[in-house]
Structure 1
Amino acid sequence: MSDYTESGLLASMATDEETPLVDENTPQFQPLNHKRDVYILSSAFLLIFLAYGAIQNLESTINTEGDLGTTSLGILYLSFTFFSIIASLVVRKLGSKNALILGTSGYWLFTAANLFPSWYTMVPSSLYLGFSASIIWVGQGTYLTSAANSHANDNNLPERTVIGQFNGVFWGMFASHQLVGNLVNLAVLRDETGGSTSGTTLLFILFLCSMTLGTILMCFLNRRNGKEEAQQYSSATFSSTVVSASKSFLNLLLDKRILLVIPLIAYSGFQQAFVWAEYTKEIVKPVLGEQGVGGAMAVYGVFDAICAIVAGRLTNGLTSITMIVLGGALIQLIVLLWLLLNYSVTGGVLATLLPLLIGALWGIGDGVLNTQLSALLGILFKHDLEGAFAQLKLWQSVSISVVFFISTSISLQTMAVIMLVALFISVAAFLFLTIKVEKAFSHSDS
C-alpha cells in the first residue's frame, strides 16, 4: 500500500473517530406521552365547562327579560347545528390542537357577554359560540381517538380497549364539571328578596379566569398528525378542499353504519337537553326551589362522572359497547316510565330525595352514552375521525335545539312520551347495527 493511500486511510479513520454517531443538529423525535395529553385535554375541558355548564344551567333564570337566556341557547344550538357541517373541514385545515385552542374563544366571549346581557351581546356571542363549539368538539373527538390509537400502537395494546379507557378518563373528568361548577354557583350566588339574585358579576369573572386557565392548558398539548396534515393540505386550494370535505361528509352520511348510529346520537342530545330544559324546571324547582338546582345538578354530575369512568374501563369492543349502552338505556327507560305513569310532586323528606334520585339515575345514562358513542365512532370510523365526530355533534345539536324550542309549549308528560319513542327507535337501530354489521366490520378490521 502506498504512503499516500495509508495516509489517506489514517486521515479518514481519524475523521470518522471525531465525527459523532448522531448529528447534533438532526432533530430527535421522542415518543409522545399520550396519557399525559389525555389528562391535559380532560383538565382543560373541565376548567372550561365547569364555567359554561353552570352558566347554561342558570341562563333561563338570570336572563328572563324577553326570554333572552332561553332564546340565546336556542340560537346557540342552531348555530352549532349549521357549523357542524363544516367543522371537520376547519379541524382538518387547522389541525386538532389549533382547533381546540380556537374553540375555547367562543366560550370565553359568551361568558363575557353575560356580564352585559342584551340582545346586542348575547345573540352575536351565541352565534359565534355555535361555531366554536362545533370545532372544539370535533377536535376533541379527533385528538382523543388519535392519542388512543397511537398509544395502542406504541405499546402493542388493543385499539378498542385503549379507546374505551381514554374516553372513560376524559368523560369522567368532563362530567365532574357539573359538580364543581354548581358548587361554585352555590358558594357565590345569593337569592335576594323579590326573586333577584346577587353575585352574578363575581361569578362570571371567576368563570372567565377558569376558562382562561383552560385555554392556556390547551397550549401544552402535543400536536398530532401535523406532518400528514401539512402534506395533505399544503397544495390544496380552499375551493378544492371544501368540495372534498363536502363529498366526504355526504359519503359518510350515506354509510349504513352512521345511519344506524344517528338515532342514538340524536337521543343522546335529547336526554342532555331534557336535563337543562325539563328536569331543572319541572322536577327540581317545584320541590327544591331555584337554590336547589345547583345541588341537584351536582348530584347528576357526580353519578355521570363515576359512570363514565367505569363504563370506559369496561369497554373493549363492539360487544361490550352494546351491553353497556343497553344497561344505560334501561335505566333511563325506568325513569321515563316513572315520570309518565307515577311521578307527582308531594311533600316530605321522600319528595325532597326523589329529584336527586332521578338526577343520579339520569346521570348514569348520560355517562354511558357519552363514553360509548365516542368509543363507537372511534372504532367504526378511525379513517375519518373528523367526519364521524362532526356527524356526532351535528345530530346532537339538532336534537338539543329541538328540545329547547318545544319545551316551553309542551308538558313534562308529553316530553316523556317523545323521549320514550326516541329511545326505542335509537336502541332498535343500534341493535340492528351490532347484529348485522359487527361480523363484517370485525373481518375488515382484522
Structure 2
Amino acid sequence: MESLDSRDDIEKPLLHGDESPPVLLTKKSTHARDVHILSFSFLLIFLAFGAAQNLESTVDTDKGLGTTSLGIVYSSFALFSLVASPVVRALGSKTALLLGTSGYWLFIAVHLIKQTWYIMYPISLYLGFASSIIWVEQGTYLTSAARRHARDNNLHEGKTIGNFNGEFWMMFACRQFFGNLLSLAILRDGSEGTPGQTKFLYTVFLCSMTLGIILMCFLNSKDTVEKEYQDSSRSFSASLISFLKSAIAPLFDVRMLFIIPLMAYTGLQQAFVWAEFTKYVVTPSLGMSGVGGAMAVYGFFDAICSLVAGRLTSGLKTISLLVSGGALLQAVVFVWLLLKFSQASGLLSIVAMAALLGIGDGVFNTQISALLGMFFKRDTEGAFAQLKVWQSGAIAVIFFISPCISLETMVVVMLTAVLIAYGAFVYLFLHGEEAVSSSRL
C-alpha cells in the first residue's frame, strides 16, 4: 500500500517555483480566470438541475416516476464513476466537461414534453454517465488549475487549492439559492404550479443551462503531457491492465479507505435534504410553496460557508477543524429532529435547520475536495472518481429506500452515518501514520 504522507508535509508550504521555468505575467492569471469561468458555468447549469431535482417528486408523481428517475440517475452515476477516470483522460479536459453537460440538458428538455417511463428512464441512465464524466473532470480540472497557479506565482499549494475550491463551491451552492427563488417566484400561485407555469419554469431552466454550456466553451484545456493513456500502439491487455489499475488503485491507499465513509456520508446528507427534509419537514410545516424558500436558505448558507471554509483551508489541521464543525452542526439537526420536531414547527425552526444543514454541506464539499487534491497528486482523476462512486451511490440508496421507511428511522440512519464518518476521519488524522505502518506491504 502507499504510505500516508507525513502531516508535516501536508502542513508546510508546497512550492514548486524551482521546478519549471518562469512564465509570462499574462499567463499567470489564466488559471484563476478558468476557475471563474468554470464556477459560473456550473452555477448556470446546476441552478436549473438543482431546482428541478427538488421538484421532481412533485412534478413527476405518476407511479413515483420522478423519485425512481433520480434513483436511476445516481445509481448510474455511481456505476459509471468506476470507469470515468480513463474515459476523462482519453477525452481531454475540455471535451469531458462539455460532454458531461449533455445529460443535464436532455434531462431538463424532456420536462417540456409529456414524461413517460420509457423516455425518462433511458435519459436518467445517460445522465448518470454524463454526470460521472463532468464531475470527475471538475475535481481534476480545479485541482490542476490550483497547482499550476501556485507554481506560477510561488504560492502555498494547499492554500491555493482551498481558495479555488472555496470559490467554486460557493458559486455552486448559490444554485440552490437562485434556482429555488426562481421556482418560488414562478410557481407562486399554487403548490405545484399550473401546467403553463411549470412549462415556463423549465424553459427558463433550459435557457440558463444553455448559457452555462456556451460559457464553458471559453475554458482553456488543462490536459497533462502524460502519454501513458494516449499511446494507441499499446496492446489490448496492457490497456485493460491500465484501466483496471486506474479504477481500483485508490482503494489500495489507506488514506482513501479512511476518507470513504465521509464521502458516502456527504451523499447521504445531500439526498436527505432533497428527498426527506423537503418532503417530511418543510412541506408539513410550510406547505409545498415553502420548499423553494427553505432550499434558498440552505443554498445561501451553503454558499457563504463554502467561500469561508475554502479561504480558511491551509492544511490537514484546518481541514480537521472545519470538518469537525460541519459534522457537529449536522448532528445537532438530526438530534433536534428526533427530540423536538413536530409538524407544527414554525418558520424559524425550519430556517435554522436549513441553515445548519447548508453550513455542513459547504464544509464537506470544500474540505473533501481539498483533501483529495493534497493527498492524491499522482492519480487525481482516480481519487475524484472514488468520491463520486461513493457519494452518488449513497444518494441513490436514499432515493430508493425513502418511500419504505419513516422519517424517524431515516434520521437515526443519518445520525449513525455522521458518527461513523467522523470517527473514521478522526482516526485518519490522529492515527493514520501508525495504521499505514502496521499494514504496509
State if a TM-score over 0.5 links the two structures: yes
Of residues 432-441 and 57-66 in structure 1, the stretch that sits farther from structure 2 once superposed is 432-441
Of residues 411-420 and 191-200 in structure 1, the stretch that sits farther from structure 2 once superposed is 191-200
Write out per-residue CA displacement over residues 272-299 of structure 1, whole angstroms, 9 at most, x where no aligned residue: 0000111000110001111110010000
Instruction: Give SS of 1:419's match.
Output: helix
% identical equivalent positions: 60
Residue 69 of structure 2 aligns with which residue?
A: 72
Alignment of 1:35-184 (within 5 A): 35-116=32-113, 117-184=115-182
Check conservation: 1:89, 1:242, Cα contact below 8 A.
Answer: no
User: Aligned partners of 1:188, 1:105: CA distance in 2, in Å?
Assistant: 25
Deviation at 1:60, TM superposition (A): 0.4
Check conservation: 1:190, 1:199, Cα contact below 8 A.
Answer: no
Residue 423 of structure 1 aligns with which residue?
A: 418
User: Aligned partners of 1:234, 1:144: CA distance in 2, in Å?
Assistant: 28
User: Aligned partners of 2:78, 2:296: CA distance in 1, in Å?
Assistant: 28
1:406 aligns with 2:401: yes
1:366 aligns with 2:361: yes
Deviation at 1:190, TM superposition (A): 4.3
Deviation at 1:354, TM superposition (A): 1.0
User: Aligned partners of 1:354, 1:326: CA distance in 2, in Å?
Assistant: 23
User: Aligned partners of 2:37, 2:235: CA distance in 1, in Å?
Assistant: 34
Write out per-residue CA displacement over residues 137-193 of structure 1, whole angstroms, 9 at most, x where no aligned residue: 000000000000001111111111100000000000100000111111122224459
User: Aligned partners of 1:189, 1:85: CA distance in 2, in Å?
Assistant: 39
1:225 aligns with 2:220: no
Q: Against the structure 1 CA distance between its residues 194 and 96, is the aligned structure 2 distance closer, same or farther, given a 3 Å change threshold?
A: closer
Write out per-residue CA displacement over residues 225-273 of structure 1, whole angstroms, 9 at most, x where no aligned residue: 3543588445446664343121132221121111100000000000000
Check conservation: 1:191, 1:198, Cα contact below 8 A.
Answer: no
Q: 1:312 aligns with which of 310, 313, 328?
A: 310
TM-score normalised by the chain length of structure 2: 0.89
Of residues 202-211 and 28-37 in structure 1, the stretch that sits farther from structure 2 once superposed is 28-37
- RMSD over equivalenced CA pairs, Å: 2.0
Q: Against the structure 1 CA distance between its residues 72 and 255, is the aligned structure 2 distance closer, same or farther, given a 3 Å change threshold?
A: same
Larger relative contact order (C-alpha < 8 A, sep ≥ 6)?
Answer: 2
Q: Against the structure 1 CA distance between its residues 392 and 103, is the aligned structure 2 distance closer, same or farther, given a 3 Å change threshold?
A: same
Deviation at 1:344, TM superposition (A): 1.4
Check conservation: 2:103, 2:131, Cα contact below 8 A.
Answer: yes
Q: Against the structure 1 CA distance between its residues 43 and 261, is the aligned structure 2 distance closer, same or farther, given a 3 Å change threshold?
A: same
Q: Against the structure 1 CA distance between its residues 192 and 172, is the aligned structure 2 distance closer, same or farther, given a 3 Å change threshold?
A: closer
Structure 1 runs not aligned, ≥5 long? 1-27, 442-446
User: Aligned partners of 2:431, 2:332: CA distance in 1, in Å?
Assistant: 28
Check conservation: 2:174, 2:303, Cα contact below 8 A.
Answer: yes
Deviation at 1:307, TM superposition (A): 0.3
Residue 27 of structure 2 aligns with which residue?
A: 31
User: Aligned partners of 1:438, 1:230: CA distance in 2, in Å?
Assistant: 31
Of residues 404-413 and 338-347 in structure 1, the stretch that sits farther from structure 2 once superposed is 338-347
Structure 2 runs not aligned, ≥5 long? 1-23, 437-441
Deviation at 1:333, TM superposition (A): 0.9
Instruction: Give SS of 1:430's match.
Output: helix
Q: Against the structure 1 CA distance between its residues 439 and 309, is the aligned structure 2 distance closer, same or farther, given a 3 Å change threshold?
A: farther
Larger Rg: 1
User: Aligned partners of 2:188, 2:87: CA distance in 1, in Å?
Assistant: 42
Residue 349 of structure 2 aligns with which residue?
A: 354
In structure 2, what residue type is equivalent to 1:208? Answer: L
Instruction: Give SS of 1:199's match.
Output: helix
Q: What number of residue pairs does the alignment pair up?
A: 411
Check conservation: 1:190, 1:198, Cα contact below 8 A.
Answer: no
User: Aligned partners of 2:122, 2:343: CA distance in 1, in Å?
Assistant: 39
Residue 378 of structure 2 aligns with which residue?
A: 383
Alignment of 1:191-202 (within 5 A): 191-192=189-190, 198-202=196-200
